[in-house]
Amino acid sequence: MPHTLNAGKVEEIRPGKTKRVKAPHGWILVCNVDGHIYAVDDLCTHEDASLYLGCLKGHLIQCSLHGGKFDVRTGAAVEEPAEQPLRTYPVTLTDGEIHIEVPA
Ligand code: FES
C-alpha cells in the first residue's frame, strides 16, 4: 500500500537545493530543479553514501564519495562509477506543500 509523505513546503527548498526526508523504508532526497520538485532515494546506488552530501547542478546530483552522477528527474545513472538508477517517487504539490508517494 503506498503512503503519502508530507515533505514540507516548497518554499523551504530553494532552486538548486535539496532536502532529506525520512520515509518508512529509508531516506528520500527532495530536489528543487528550477522550481520543479523531484524525489529520489537519498542513498547512492554505488555504495552507501548519502546524496544529500553531494552537489545538485541543474538536474544532476553528484555523489560526494566517488563522483557518480544521477539525473534526479528520471533516477538514471549518468556518470560512473554509478551504474544502477536511483528509485524515483511521484511528487504532488498542494497549496505549496510537497507530497511524496512512498511504499508503506
Ligand atoms: S558511493 Fe556514490 S559514487 Fe560511489
Instruction: Give the domain 2-103 fold.
Output: Rieske Iron-sulfur Protein (2.102.10)
Please indicate whether residue 44, judged by its CB atom, sits closer than 6 Å to ligand 1: yes
Q: Give me the half-sphere count of Cα atoms (radius 13 Å) on the Cβ side of residue 30.
A: 27
pLDDT digits (tens, 9 = 90+) for 9-64: 999 999 999 999 999 989 999 999 999 999 999 999 999 999 999 999 999 999 99
- In 3D space, the residue among 103, 104, 68, 98 whose CA is nearest the CA of residue 88 turns out to be 103
**Model pTM score:** 0.95
CA of 98 to the centre of ligand 1 (A): 27
Please indicate whether residue 43, judged by its CB atom, sits closer than 6 Å to ligand 1: no
